[in-house]
Structure 1
Amino acid sequence: MEVPFLSFAPQHAPLRAALTDAFTRVVDSYWYVLGEEVRQFEQEYAAFNQVAHTVGVANGLDALVLALRALAIGPGDEVIVPSNTYIATWLAVTQVGAVPVPVEPDPATSNLDPARIAAALTSRTRAIVPVHLYGQACRMPEIMALATEHGLFVVEDNAQAQGAAFAGQRTGSFGHINATSFYPGKNLGALGDAGAVTTNDDNLAQQVRVLRNYGSQQKYYNEVIGYNSRLDELQAAVLRVKLPELPTWTRQRQQIAAWYGQHLAGIAGLRLPAVAEGATNVYHLYVVHTPHRAALQQHLTAQGIGTLIHYPVPPHRQQAYQQLQLPAGSFPIAEELAATCLSLPIWPGMTEAHVATVAAAIRSR
């Protein structure tokens, strides 16, 4: 049995009629930008995420940028970011003119370690951007307490963890203003680029609405230097079809992760995901660690099993950030995680037989 890294078919096939109806509804509305579909989705996702406001934007990176802009973070400011994350987290900080200041993760969870943040704070620190990496909630109460103590903003990067929680509270609802992505491969994915900002702050939500639309509330009257970053009607309609399915898909991901835990138990040199006490994991990715990553990946590929590496190069070692002058060894935990991580297939619709096939291939190496 071949096992692809990702398959959309089990999710999309049962929704085909509903998706087609949604497309038709948008086409027949004759209103394609910032219309009723976006308004309804914003309300529905806000209710799902247990926040007062959702503001739909073009993609996850824009969501981060607009959140930071709404907080007036810019040149001269520093922002705490994880040393291991997808580079979009850092890019958003750079794009508003601030400086990303990396902090190492908890090696067990790969998430930002709250105990390490204080040592990185300076008089220029304005915000913390925790990333709920791979679908597991960060230890948000500790991060929020630290932010309150030092007068800092918190912007959650919730792109990989829609529906996750810490101590029963949804990720994307802790921070002052938060960002998520609906890139097709995400747990709640559109059929193209899409994103959103979530917040309980009325003023911040309004600022993002203005920023996403050329800095304008009234057409042709521009209050601030804004962006063209609007969630379009077609993607909003798709997301409205998919959102009610997300809890079921999350339970399937968690069941698949449990099967992996059973079938992969006891394999020497293979470290399985760990979940922090109080956190839930919605398993956007199922990431194992091994010092023999290259050999294992080649072996699985030969067996017809798809894998990916999330992520092979930490942001501080990317050419884009060479100006920060952070040489190899600057962040050893992030570098070790990057050198050993391997993402195994996980998608709603996978069966235990799929998982057993992957596990048997790993054991046969």
Structure 2
Amino acid sequence: MSKRAYNFNAGPAALPLEVLERAQAEFVDFHGTGMSIMEMSHRGAVYEGVHNEASSRLLQLLGNPQGYKVLFLQGGASTQFAMIPMNLLTEGKVGAYVKTGSWANKAIKEAKLIGETYVAASSEEDKYMSVPDLSNLQLPDNAAYLHLTSNETIEGTQFTQYPDTGSVPLIADMSSDILCRPFDLTQFGMVYAGAQKNLGPSGVTVVIAREELVSNSPKHLPSMLRYDIQADNNSLYNTPPSFSIYMVNEVLRWIEEQGGLQAVEQNNRKKADLLYNAIDNSGGFFRGCADLESRSLMNVTFRLANEELEKQFIKQSEQEGFVGLKGHRSVGGLRASIYNAVPYDSIKALVDLMNHFQQQNG
């Protein structure tokens, strides 16, 4: 096989090589059936076994808390921005949101189309380069839920802890940091994530929710947008993205093989420390964007002295086999997305490139 790229794409993003090779071996003939998983009926026992295994494996990694349901949905996290208020923001209630950047803003924008919203905390004054302190959060008495974005992919910020919201369900968009570390699912009414960063390929969105939250959706909603119909049908109301779910199951198996979430977190912190230390010890040649206490483990955002130098760095990185280091078009700069599947050696290679570039241009 030819040399693989140093893949720092923000999403779709790197997948574990072991998972790709396992999928390659099973692609044409899955477990002796004479068919690819993509060719099977989603009503058949073989596919349903994979489907159910992915669901149970995910809950096992999170400690098997009781009373939670896993849904495999379509439309990405962006559809969840609307589906959550459509299902949960009932008359007389208000949707509370934490405003931390690009993806939180998109969630708020969609919710405003459905009902009343309330910004419970915001880091807008800090240009979203930090996450707000939620320790003394005040929520309206009629709050239907509190929604936050656990990791802002574009700005490169991440919550290190989550608030106690009492009887108000806490909902988190974890698209870009789910399973990068252990977390207590019982703090949440719902977490959701587009798969294409830490869980698998694009095409499926994972929702993990308390059963009571997804058991009684408004009857006027279209069937595909009702949580209760999806839950009652085990996410098989219509044809699911079967290959994507199969890949999620294999990524979850790979996480188990690494030693579970504690081992994954240890590796992620080792990778992030290596890259942040290279930035911080560059004498100001490279500058981190996010505030120190809010830095993301998954998306490292940084700048050079000017845009011309950044363009030069991007060009040189691409010539040397690096992919995805250009910052999001809305903020510019540089960004390295170092999700679970990005190996330590790729970060080491990036640091070597940065040191060499500084020697040439410092």
Please state which band the TM-score falls in when normalised by the shorter chain: 0.5 to 0.7
Distance in 1, matches of 2:16 and 2:54, equals 23
Mind listing any 5+ residue stretches in structure 2 that lack a counterpart? Answer: 259-263, 319-323
2:176 matched to 1:160?
yes
Per the TM alignment, residue 163 of structure 1 is displaced from its structure 2 partner at its CA by: 1.6
The residue that corresponds to 1:30 in the other structure is 41
Helix, strand or coil: the match of 1:264?
Answer: helix
Distance in 2, matches of 1:356 and 1:89, equals 38
Change (3 A) 1:179 1:343: same
Distance in 2, matches of 1:348 and 1:169, equals 21
Change (3 A) 1:275 1:73: farther
Per the TM alignment, residue 157 of structure 1 is displaced from its structure 2 partner at its CA by: 1.1
Helix, strand or coil: the match of 2:288?
Answer: coil
Distance in 2, matches of 1:155 and 1:9, equals 26
Distance in 1, matches of 2:329 and 2:255, equals 25
Aligned residues: 314
Matching residue's letter, 2:41: Y
On the 8 A contact 1:155/1:176 being kept in 2, the answer is yes
The residue that corresponds to 2:261 in the other structure is none
2:77 matched to 1:60?
yes
2:279 matched to 1:264?
yes
2:334 matched to 1:342?
yes
- Of 150, 159, 162 in structure 2, the residue corresponding to residue 138 of structure 1 is 159
2:125 matched to 1:111?
no
Identity of aligned residues (%): 10
Helix, strand or coil: the match of 2:131?
Answer: coil
Question: Which segment drifts farther, 79-88 or 23-32?
Answer: 23-32
Distance in 2, matches of 1:287 and 1:89, equals 22
Matching residue's letter, 1:243: L
Per the TM alignment, residue 252 of structure 1 is displaced from its structure 2 partner at its CA by: 4.8
Matching residue's letter, 1:81: V
Change (3 A) 1:358 1:75: farther
Q: Write the deviation string for residues 238-288 of structure 1: whole angstroms up to 9, x where unpaired.
A: 111111223646655443323213433322341376775xx996x332223
Change (3 A) 1:360 1:260: farther
Per the TM alignment, residue 353 of structure 1 is displaced from its structure 2 partner at its CA by: 2.9
- Of 102, 111, 134 in structure 2, the residue corresponding to residue 85 of structure 1 is 102
Distance in 1, matches of 2:79 and 2:266, equals 29
Distance in 1, matches of 2:238 and 2:309, equals 41
Per the TM alignment, residue 110 of structure 1 is displaced from its structure 2 partner at its CA by: 3.0
Change (3 A) 1:84 1:5: same
Matches within 5 A, 1:269-280: 269=284, 270-271=287-288, 276=293
- Of 48, 58, 66 in structure 2, the residue corresponding to residue 45 of structure 1 is 58
Helix, strand or coil: the match of 1:259?
Answer: helix
Helix, strand or coil: the match of 1:304?
Answer: helix
Matches within 5 A, 1:1-365: 3=6, 5-6=8-9, 8=14, 11=17, 13-18=20-25, 20=27, 24=35, 26-27=37-38, 29-31=40-42, 35-50=48-63, 51=65, 52-58=68-74, 59-73=76-90, 77-86=94-103, 87-99=105-117, 101=119, 103-104=122-123, 110-114=130-134, 117-118=137-138, 125-133=143-151, 134=153, 138-141=159-162, 143-144=163-164, 147-148=165-166, 152-165=168-181, 169-170=183-184, 173-183=186-196, 186-190=197-201, 192-199=202-209, 201-207=210-216, 213=224, 215=226, 231-246=240-255, 248=258, 252-269=267-284, 270-271=287-288, 276=293, 283-288=297-302, 292=305, 294-305=307-318, 306-310=324-328, 312=330, 338=331, 342-344=334-336, 346=338, 348-349=342-343, 351=345, 352-362=348-358, 364-365=360-361
Change (3 A) 1:288 1:246: farther
Matching residue's letter, 1:255: K
- Structural RMSD (CA): 4.3
Q: Write the deviation string for residues 88-118 of structure 1: whole angstroms up to 9, x where unpaired.
A: 4334423533436361178897334315854
Matching residue's letter, 1:234: F
Distance in 2, matches of 1:207 and 1:36, equals 27
The residue that corresponds to 2:321 in the other structure is none
Provide TM-score, normalisation by structure 2: 0.68
Distance in 2, matches of 1:164 and 1:356, equals 25
Change (3 A) 1:304 1:217: closer
Helix, strand or coil: the match of 2:253?
Answer: helix
Matching residue's letter, 1:113: D
Change (3 A) 1:19 1:132: farther
Distance in 1, matches of 2:238 and 2:298, equals 25
Helix, strand or coil: the match of 1:303?
Answer: helix
Per the TM alignment, residue 9 of structure 1 is displaced from its structure 2 partner at its CA by: 7.2
Distance in 2, matches of 1:246 and 1:231, equals 23
Distance in 1, matches of 2:314 and 2:113, equals 37
